[in-house]
């Protein structure tokens, strides 16, 4: 087990009659990426604001980098970085000027601010753009520069609140690469996101939150396993074959068979995926049916997340 750098226990926070957090727990270890997932209003941003000392909580306790968030807020702030949903770079300044400015704001002297700027430009792949104005940067480059600014003091813990919102696919990949590099260097990253593919790619653990409460805390693979077995799926070439294909899958299925007429598919969970696939393919051949596709499909993080939320709302 690694060193715990973020810990929250039984956190509670109310805004008038609304419970933003209701007994929320959270832990993250050094050098890992922890994802906070949940629908709008679930309590994700409230959690980040509390852990970064921007908001006081009502009940429970929280510690970041070994310091109590309520009693030692100044010590916590010295050891964290925070990147919000909007970039905080000055577009009229060059990349290097932006980082030097942030260095001075963090009370580095001129020499050290320049040295740190150059280190971060190299770390985030921005050295070639060091003397270009930020207004000409792509969305991904601006966000990388924003991440670099939050790393001026090499924080132990970096909080990212939906860092890729609004970015194109190329920009998102640039940010993903940067986050993976930070975790590899030992920084703990706490990430809120609405993109489940992002959480699947980046996160070592995921905490799913709704109505201010933990629904589950697990690895991405663990969340998918909660959905059960792999599924055998057959996509019909001719939709009129769906009833026959359903009969074929029902023989090898270990659960309810589902028919999606819109996708012309039939699927069901199977405990012995290879044996089930072989048996179904043989039956399709014996009945001289033509299918568009046949194969095994694992549950996705999207499906696991949506099922958890649906259960909570029942």
- pLDDT tens, position by position, 189-239: 999 998 889 999 999 999 999 989 998 899 998 888 776 668 899 999 999
Query: 35 falls in which pLDDT band (50, 70, 90)?
Result: very high
Tokens of 22: 């209701």
Is the pLDDT at 171 greater than 70, yes or no?
A: yes
- Comparing CA positions, the residue from 280, 258, 278 lying closest to residue 269 is 258
Dist CA 229 CA 173 (whole Å): 30
The CATH class for the domain spanning 229-298 reads alpha beta
The CATH number for 4-219, chosen from 3.40.228.10, 3.30.530.20, 3.40.50.300, 3.40.50.150, is: 3.40.50.300
Q: Hey, what's the torsion of the CAs at 305, 309, 310, 314, to 10 degrees? A: 160
Task: Provide CATH 3.40.50.300 ranges for the chain.
Answer: 4-219
Tokens of 292: 């568009």
């Amino acid at each position: 087990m690694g060193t715990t750098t973020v810990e929250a226990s039984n956190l509670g926070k109310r805004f008038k009659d609304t419970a933003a957090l209701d007994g929320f727990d959270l832990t993250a270890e050094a050098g890992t990426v922890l994802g906070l997932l949940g629908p709008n209003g679930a309590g994700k941003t409230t959690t980040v604001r509390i852990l970064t000392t921007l908001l006081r909580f009502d009940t429970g306790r929280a510690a970041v980098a070994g310091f109590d968030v309520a009693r030692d807020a100044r010590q916590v702030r010295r050891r964290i970085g925070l990147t919000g949903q909007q970039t905080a770079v000055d577009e009229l300044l060059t990349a290097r000027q932006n980082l030097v400015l942030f260095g001075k704001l963090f009370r580095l002297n001129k020499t050290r601010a320049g040295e740190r700027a150059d280190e971060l430009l190299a770390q985030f792949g921005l050295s070639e753009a060091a003397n270009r104005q930020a207004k000409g940067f792509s969305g991904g480059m601006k966000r990388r520069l924003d991440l670099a600014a939050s790393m001026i003091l090499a924080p132990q813990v970096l909080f990212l609140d939906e860092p890729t919102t609004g970015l194109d696919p190329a920009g998102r990949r640039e940010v993903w690469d940067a986050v993976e590099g930070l975790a590899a260097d030992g920084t703990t990253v706490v990430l809120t996101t609405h993109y489940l593919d992002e959480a699947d790619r980046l996160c070592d653990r995921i905490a799913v939150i709704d109505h201010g409460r933990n629904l589950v805390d697990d690895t991405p693979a663990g969340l998918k396993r909660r959905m059960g077995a792999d599924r055998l799926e057959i996509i019909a070439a001719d939709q009129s074959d769906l009833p026959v294909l359903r009969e074929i899958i029902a023989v090898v299925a270990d659960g309810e068979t589902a028919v999606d007429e819109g996708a012309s598919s039939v699927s069901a969970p199977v405990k012995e995926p290879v044996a089930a696939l072989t048996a179904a393919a043989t039956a399709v051949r014996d009945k001289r049916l033509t299918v568009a596709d046949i194969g095994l499909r694992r549950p996705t993080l999207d499906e696991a997340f949506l099922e958890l939320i649906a259960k909570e709302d029942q």
